[in-house]
Amino acid sequence: MSEKPMKPSDKALFPDQLLGDIRQMIEEARASVAATVNAGLTMLYWQIGRRISQEILKGERAEYGAEIVSALARQLTSEYGRGFSEKSLRHMIRFVEAFPDDRIVSALLRQLSWTHFLAIIYLPEVLQRDFYAEMCRVERWSTRTLQKKIASMLYERTALSKKPAELAKLELQALREEDRITPDLVFRDPYLLDFLGLKGAYQEKDLEAAILRELEAFIMELGAGFTFVARQKRITVDHDDFYLDLLFFHRDLRRLVVVELKLDKFRPDHKGQMELYLRWLDRHERKPGEDSPLGIILCAGKNSEQIELLELGRSGIHVAEYLTVLPPKDVLKRKLHEAIERSRLAIENRGDDAGEATTKTTVKKNLTVHPADARKKLAKPKSREKGHGKGGKP
């Protein structure tokens, strides 16, 4: 319905604030009604799916279920329209199979629409479906954003996917019941930075400059909750200056997050550099109510065994690769699934081997660089004029 233009004489009869308040009331009421209708329809679809599933289970022939769905669809479509076609009814049946607990569905209905559920219910793994549903609820993704996250294989790129199923379930349960976000839900590997438009040879300063130009897109790839704080933040230790590439704050984790950029593969000495930065921030920048700072080392490649031996998680350090040019999707999918299997197997082996904990404690003791040594041995400072204009770069 088109709006009639307001006459100048009409506008003079009431203050702008009155019109603004009433407009807000109307928009809020419309949104509330739409949300209520959506929630009611989505729960109706779940109930229809459950009822059909119950009836199908009574059948003794495999063809019985197909006959019921087809016949129901014809009758319901004639009475209520295309929203109850055979395809739609099969979506409803799948809805119940993917989310059998109506209490969980009820909780999700506050943020997820029917189109959200359609994007999720055909994902093959239970943990995948639970992850996307809960992250969608917490971060309030639109359907389009959800579809992009799924297409970019976000779940497979999180640390959560690399954990054994039981541990991942516990973490998702905490997210569902307490809205508790953990680093394993936030950090991912690899990060997809194809939007930076970097091709051919480039330097670290080019990578950093491209990220700052596309800061909004970079933060979206990092995930919800990140707030940009500073670039090239200077810290001084015993008269030596070091420069942090990028500094963020994560609202849900309540932590400062350092992002260091590396053009080469991860090296063990990168750990000492990052530990120095994190210890300094913990001592000088951390505010009451915040947890210890975390670090992300973005590098062109990494060795899985080195990462495992260094036990970087104990230091609050996450190492991830970044991709400025995306490989074919099937190649990326294969690599991610191989990484998931390797990580799960490594965690399970650690749990099975009773003597391995002692061994790893010894390894960690030998490899961990103490703050006093990190400055001297690992994070050799550079002046702003050297290299790429950045201090603290190995």
Q: Would you place residue 59 in the very low, low, confident or very high pLDDT band (cuts 50, 70, 90)? A: low
- Edge-to-edge strands of the sheet including 294-299? 191-192, 317-323, 294-299, 255-261, 240-250, 226-237
pLDDT for the residue 177: 87
- Here the tokens at position 384 are 């702003």
**CB-side exposure of 357: number of CA atoms within 13 Å?**
4
Residue 182 placed within a domain: no
Q: Evaluate whether residue 153 is within a structural domain.
A: no
- Residue 176 inside a domain? The answer is no
What is the rounded CA–CA span in Å between residue 242 and residue 240? Answer: 7
Q: Give the up-direction half-sphere exposure of residue 68: CA atoms within 13 A in the CB hemisphere.
A: 20
Q: Which of 99, 118, 145 is the last residue of a domain?
A: 99
| Pick from 266, 323, 325, 326: nearest CA to 295 | 266
pLDDT digits (tens, 9 = 90+) for 13-38: 667 788 888 999 999 999 889 888 99
In a domain, 271, yes or no: yes
CATH number assigned to the domain comprising residue 265: 3.40.1350.10
Q: Is the pLDDT of residue 228 over 70?
A: yes
Domain count across the chain: 2
- Look at residues 51, 78, 76, 85 and name the one whose alpha carbon lies nearest to residue 65: 51
Supply angle C-alpha 207, 211, 215, rounded to 5.
Answer: 175
Is 56 within a domain? yes
258 forms bridges with which residues in the sheet?
247, 295
Among 65, 99, 133, give the residue marking a domain's end. 99
- Cβ proximity of 256 and 292 under 8 Å: no
Parent domain of 28: 20-99
> Which of 59-68, 238-247, 308-317 has the lowest average pLDDT?
59-68
Confidence of residue 88 (pLDDT cuts 50, 70, 90): very high
Select from 54, 80, 99 the last residue of a domain. Answer: 99
Residue 105 falls within a domain, yes or no? no
